[in-house]
Amino acid sequence: MNFTQKFQLPPGHRPRLHSRWADDTPGGFDKTQAEAQLARNLERLADLQYRLYAEGRRALLVVFQAMDTAGKDGVIRRVMSGLNPQSCRVTAFKAPTAVELAHDFLWRIHAAVPARGEIGIFNRSHYEDVLIARVRQLVPRSVWSKRYEQINHFERLLADNDVVIRKFFLHISKEEQRQRLQARLTDPKKNWKFDPDDLRDREQWDDYMKAYEDALSRCNTPWAPWFVIPSNHKWYRNLTVSSILVETLEALNPQFPKPPPGLSKLRVR
């Protein structure tokens, strides 16, 4: 199965984020098969990352957005486990600091964009400024409504400068979120994960779904496509994300640079 074709959101399409989407596992995989394929994907990703770094011409930016408990941390920990940290960096965007608020909303994002040869991973991103900022009314509509076009221009700038962008929305159902939040309350090992603000956002679930549908449809471009990943099943989520990243890097086909002239004649004594 070509995972890129299966899960890439078609341009101009507004998704309807029904709960049934979140539970899908197309492709005929079971958990055992998925884990085996994931292991192969991780080996392939490590090789492709090495080639991307050696080539030094292009960068890969991977963006994760999701409702709380959907597994941003989990998929980063599992899928990126085999990557070399020398050329891979994870940036988690939390509430902006006073310094960041003194700049435009993309200032802190641009500073974290990976250099050529590197893979950058965003745990949350510039999309928070059309999601939480919109739903919680942190800025007026006259401000956040302009940001869709600004984001598209920003991502086009990155793409024109050799940054390949892949954006993943990890979609879980409201019922699955309830179970995962409850687990954080009842399991002492997960208590530290629980944030009372998660309940506040849960009460505004429908508002968030509308905000996500707008972001997914209005900022889905050929140079920065969105992928909607069913994430109720963690094993399927990991398989899908890793497969799309493998397909992306294989399409880039990074090459080792040519050796300097005369290298074959040298000998180490």
pLDDT given at position 129? 98
Euclidean distance between CA atoms 23 and 28, whole angstroms: 14
Whether 165 and 155 have beta carbons less than 8 Å apart is answered as yes
State if pTM tops 0.85. Answer: yes
Tokens of residue 153, six digits: 């221009």
Half-sphere exposure of 251 (CA within 13 A, CB side): 11
pLDDT given at position 190? 87
Under the banding of pLDDT at 50, 70 and 90, the label for residue 123 is very high
State the average pLDDT for the chain: 95
CB contact set of 224 (below 8 Å; sequence gap of 6+): 152, 155, 156, 158, 159, 165, 167
DSSP-derived letter for residue 83 is: S
Q: Mind listing the pLDDT tens digit for each residue in 132-153?
A: 999 999 999 999 999 999 999 9
Whether 53 and 115 have beta carbons less than 8 Å apart is answered as no
Q: Mind listing the pLDDT tens digit for each residue in 70-120?
A: 999 999 999 998 899 999 999 999 999 999 999 999 999 999 999 999 999
Q: Mind listing the pLDDT tens digit for each residue in 211-239?
A: 999 999 999 999 999 999 999 999 999 99
pLDDT exceeds 80 at position 125 = yes
Whether 229 and 7 have beta carbons less than 8 Å apart is answered as yes
Q: Could you tell me the domains of the chain?
A: 29-95+149-171+193-254 (3.40.50.300)
pLDDT exceeds 90 at position 37 = yes
